[in-house]
Chains A and B, each alone.
Chain A
């Protein structure tokens, strides 16, 4: 990397991101625009901190797109994908056909040879999965009708890249430049006959589908059992990279393969954990990718031909948006959703860079066409966040309701009102009681064997460490009403309480405690609903002991009831005292002191077991004295 050390490069990129993204978000511009602007700033034409090696970085960072599609796949169950088949094939197919047609026609009108016109059409029909999905996700628009349609079209475009790459060599008008390998058509299978290639492709897809269903889960289970977090993260990364390699080797889009693998794992118990493991890598790589795009804008060219480049950008966006809007209305989307769809997708996507360089190598397009097009693509991407803003600030307010609302009820229906963290004997008893009464429960547990068993029995259980904020988010803590903590460790419980209280203040917490100390800690942390693990069991044992000693059953029962109430009151009372006394004595000394206080409180209430109403003593006295 041009003499500069790797660490220095990383320093530059990270600094740019750390400065630009928070500012962009604070200004309401979204993180994507922040990254792009950061890229422009450190790029060769402004500060010059990075040079042309930005291109290499971009290729590297494209892997972020692969990861993003994996994560998207994880959130898309196969049944949902099947329901989307009409928009994917219909809208996606028509978008590719119509846009390619329209752009090619314009190209022909500008007297390009038909081969070049068609190639340009295919390049420009692509939209940016990275920018659109990231932005829709950030604005929580992915679940709206417009968002779903955008997703469907992007997915189809991903598939369409494959035949395009196959068609490109046939469009060559000039001489092919023997370029470097690395594009799918040059895969290891290129030497095989056509039928064998087809077979290999089908084999690879089948392998991902079947493997995702039957092979991955036992592997992850074994890794999870080892309880080494980084091993799990490594396995998740390995999975994505492996699938990407496999797909590239048979000439398929790695993003598509990762997406497929994600879908196959969408119903697995490791879904939440995988999402939270991949998420940071995905985010960083995408950020890097956007920075690289920003840095790649050739400002000299733009400055040289401002009218040409600006006109092309406008024309591309106008043509694409017009096609998209027409399609959306044709497929029955409301006007507001159609606008979201049309203004979300009119940029040219990252695949265009791949296609353009490929077209250059194959002699389909000359440098006089590809150079301005690269600038057009980059600028159109940079403009996207602005189009989203335009749509959001100026256009959407004109519509009474947003499409989001119609789908919300759906989401809430699926959302369980209760999260149970820790599904051992304690948590599972609580969960079973709730389920038996028709209450939906989302379970988080860290014991792979247990998760497995429960899933075999048809329960929805997720594997993961519940004290992690991202996992809580993924499990729906933002929408749930109760969080029940049945964890085995008081430290972990307290940690989770602090996270949950800070980030989900509306969530009511019910926590399992082990002894007074834990209870005090939990009360201090602001959790009034504290349940000591052994209390009820001990009282039931005591009740039976009383009965065996000859107490009537009801009397023993009443005694335990009263004792429970008294004990809870003493605990809460002591908790306040302890806070007043300060924390200067040791925990062991503290426990003794607490016990002493508790025993004293018992002595002070000798009438604990009296039910005066059932006791004729005073009545008898009065009768005698009459």
Chain B
């Protein structure tokens, strides 16, 4: 069974209803670790050795964070810059991450419609994650499509609950392999077929 590392990056968790709820939803899975970057490194002093050991010890790397200016919070960028060292993560001798899988779990204020070529934001979330997709590729990792919760500003409590449930099922599916993965397609369908609600959260 693949082990999962959730690298969680949020500079103001106390103000985020969505991420507080999501953080409570990870199921009790063997080998699931939550690594809260802003809690561990409030002064951006990322412990490179510790982070590399955590990466080595897990098979799936999940980056959970809000979408700030179409990108990640700054500490995750710092983490990326310092932890993914040349000769370790990439380069001719950098093979530490090879064969692992990685993906992003993202909350956005904008709606799913806005993150379309015709929408206000002009790009899909997946397209905006191009630097991370390429990073994964350079490190020999498989980049999975993101799990996105859109429209967080208008999210009602029941909607948030159902999003958290889907996140939970998604992690279980990742862990036990029941999640159907189709390259370049929707993967977060319900196990018994596509359902309308989940297709809205997931970017092609």
A residues apposed to B, CB below 8 Å: 558, 561-562, 565, 611-614, 618-619, 622
Cβ of B153 under 8 Å from chain A: no
What B residues does A612 contact at CB under 8 A? Answer: 48, 82, 85-86
Query: Which residue of A is nearest B88, CB measured?
Result: A612
Bound complex: CA A178 to CA B80 (Å): 99
Inter-subunit contact B85/A614 (CB<8 Å): no
Inter-subunit contact A619/B91 (CB<8 Å): yes
Inter-subunit contact A613/B45 (CB<8 Å): no
Given contacts A618-B91, A622-B91, A622-B92, A613 and B43 within 8 Å (CB-CB):
no
What B residues does A614 contact at CB under 8 A? Answer: 81-82
Inter-subunit contact B91/A613 (CB<8 Å): no
Inter-subunit contact A613/B82 (CB<8 Å): yes
- Known interface pairs A612-B85, A613-B81, A619-B86; 4 further A-B residue pairs with C-beta atoms within 8 A, sorted by A's residue number: A561-B45, A562-B45, A612-B48, A613-B85
What A residues does B81 contact at CB under 8 A? Answer: 613-614
Closest Cβ–Cβ distance, residue B79 to chain A (whole Å): 9
Given contacts A561-B43, A561-B45, A612-B48, A618 and B82 within 8 Å (CB-CB):
no
What are 11 residue pairs bridging A and B, where the CB atoms are less than 8 Å apart in the complex? A561-B43, A562-B45, A612-B48, A612-B85, A613-B81, A613-B83, A618-B87, A619-B86, A622-B86, A622-B87, A622-B91
Bound complex: CA A561 to CA B82 (Å): 15
What A residues does B86 contact at CB under 8 A? Answer: 612, 618-619, 622
Cβ of B141 under 8 Å from chain A: no
B residues apposed to A, CB below 8 Å: 43, 45, 48, 81-87, 91-92
Question: Secondary structure at chain B's binding surface: helix, strand, loop or mixed?
Answer: loop
What A residues does B83 contact at CB under 8 A? Answer: 613
Inter-subunit contact A613/B84 (CB<8 Å): yes
Bound complex: CA A101 to CA B85 (Å): 93
What A residues does B85 contact at CB under 8 A? Answer: 612-613
Bound complex: CA A558 to CA B46 (Å): 11
Closest Cβ–Cβ distance, residue A612 to chain B (whole Å): 5
Bound complex: CA A562 to CA B87 (Å): 22
Bound complex: CA A561 to CA B47 (Å): 11
Bound complex: CA A561 to CA B85 (Å): 20
What A residues does B45 contact at CB under 8 A? Answer: 558, 561-562, 565
What B residues does A558 contact at CB under 8 A? Answer: 45
Closest Cβ–Cβ distance, residue B158 to chain A (whole Å): 32
Closest 7 pairs (CB-CB, A-B): A613-B82, A561-B45, A613-B81, A619-B86, A612-B85, A618-B86, A618-B87
Closest Cβ–Cβ distance, residue A490 to chain B (whole Å): 28
Given contacts A561-B43, A618-B87, A613 and B92 within 8 Å (CB-CB):
no
Question: Secondary structure at chain A's binding surface: helix, strand, loop or mixed?
Answer: helix
Closest Cβ–Cβ distance, residue B163 to chain A (whole Å): 32
Closest Cβ–Cβ distance, residue A349 to chain B (whole Å): 55
Closest Cβ–Cβ distance, residue B132 to chain A (whole Å): 16
Query: Which residue of A is nearest B45, CB measured?
Result: A561
Bound complex: CA A622 to CA B92 (Å): 8
Bound complex: CA A298 to CA B83 (Å): 87
Closest Cβ–Cβ distance, residue B66 to chain A (whole Å): 23
Closest Cβ–Cβ distance, residue B50 to chain A (whole Å): 11
What A residues does B43 contact at CB under 8 A? Answer: 561
Query: Which residue of A is nearest B82, CB measured?
Result: A613
Q: Name which of A561, A612, A613, A619 has the most chain B CB atoms within 10 A of its CB.
A: A613
Bound complex: CA A561 to CA B83 (Å): 17
What B residues does A611 contact at CB under 8 A? Answer: 82
Closest Cβ–Cβ distance, residue B81 to chain A (whole Å): 5
Bound complex: CA A611 to CA B83 (Å): 10
Query: Which residue of A is nearest B83, CB measured?
Result: A613
What A residues does B91 contact at CB under 8 A? Answer: 618-619, 622
Which of A613, A619, A622 is B48 in contact with, Cβ under 8 Å? A613
Query: Which residue of B is nearest A616, CB measured?
Result: B86
Bound complex: CA A618 to CA B91 (Å): 9
What B residues does A565 contact at CB under 8 A? Answer: 45
Closest Cβ–Cβ distance, residue A512 to chain B (whole Å): 21
Closest Cβ–Cβ distance, residue A569 to chain B (whole Å): 11
Closest Cβ–Cβ distance, residue B184 to chain A (whole Å): 31
Q: Name which of B43, B48, B86, B91 has the most chain A CB atoms within 10 A of its CB.
A: B86
Bound complex: CA A612 to CA B81 (Å): 9
Query: Which residue of B is nearest A626, CB measured?
Result: B92
Closest Cβ–Cβ distance, residue A60 to chain B (whole Å): 61
Bound complex: CA A613 to CA B91 (Å): 13
Closest Cβ–Cβ distance, residue A296 to chain B (whole Å): 65
What B residues does A561 contact at CB under 8 A? Answer: 43, 45
Bound complex: CA A611 to CA B82 (Å): 7
Bound complex: CA A614 to CA B78 (Å): 10
Bound complex: CA A562 to CA B44 (Å): 11
Bound complex: CA A622 to CA B45 (Å): 27
What A residues does B87 contact at CB under 8 A? Answer: 618, 622
What B residues does A622 contact at CB under 8 A? Answer: 86-87, 91-92
Query: Which residue of B is nearest A619, CB measured?
Result: B86
Closest Cβ–Cβ distance, residue B42 to chain A (whole Å): 11
Closest Cβ–Cβ distance, residue B96 to chain A (whole Å): 14
Bound complex: CA A320 to CA B155 (Å): 64
Closest Cβ–Cβ distance, residue A522 to chain B (whole Å): 24
Closest Cβ–Cβ distance, residue B46 to chain A (whole Å): 9
Closest Cβ–Cβ distance, residue B119 to chain A (whole Å): 35
Query: Which residue of A is nearest B80, CB measured?
Result: A613
Query: Which residue of A is nearest B47, CB measured?
Result: A565
Closest Cβ–Cβ distance, residue A604 to chain B (whole Å): 15
Query: Which residue of B is nearest A561, CB measured?
Result: B45
Closest Cβ–Cβ distance, residue B36 to chain A (whole Å): 19
Closest Cβ–Cβ distance, residue A218 to chain B (whole Å): 46
Q: Name which of A562, A612, A614 has the most chain B CB atoms within 10 A of its CB.
A: A612
Query: Which residue of B is nearest A558, CB measured?
Result: B45
Closest Cβ–Cβ distance, residue B100 to chain A (whole Å): 19
Closest Cβ–Cβ distance, residue B188 to chain A (whole Å): 32
What A residues does B92 contact at CB under 8 A? Answer: 622
What B residues does A619 contact at CB under 8 A? Answer: 86, 91
Closest Cβ–Cβ distance, residue A535 to chain B (whole Å): 15
Closest Cβ–Cβ distance, residue A622 to chain B (whole Å): 6
What B residues does A618 contact at CB under 8 A? Answer: 86-87, 91
What A residues does B82 contact at CB under 8 A? Answer: 611-614
Query: Which residue of A is nearest B92, CB measured?
Result: A622
Bound complex: CA A355 to CA B92 (Å): 102
Closest Cβ–Cβ distance, residue A615 to chain B (whole Å): 9
Bound complex: CA A565 to CA B50 (Å): 14
Bound complex: CA A561 to CA B46 (Å): 10
Closest Cβ–Cβ distance, residue B133 to chain A (whole Å): 20
Bound complex: CA A561 to CA B92 (Å): 31
What B residues does A562 contact at CB under 8 A? Answer: 45
Closest Cβ–Cβ distance, residue B45 to chain A (whole Å): 5
Bound complex: CA A8 to CA B45 (Å): 71
Closest Cβ–Cβ distance, residue A606 to chain B (whole Å): 16
Bound complex: CA A558 to CA B84 (Å): 18
Closest Cβ–Cβ distance, residue B85 to chain A (whole Å): 5
Closest Cβ–Cβ distance, residue B99 to chain A (whole Å): 22
Bound complex: CA A562 to CA B92 (Å): 29
Bound complex: CA A235 to CA B188 (Å): 77
Closest Cβ–Cβ distance, residue A618 to chain B (whole Å): 5
Bound complex: CA A565 to CA B45 (Å): 10
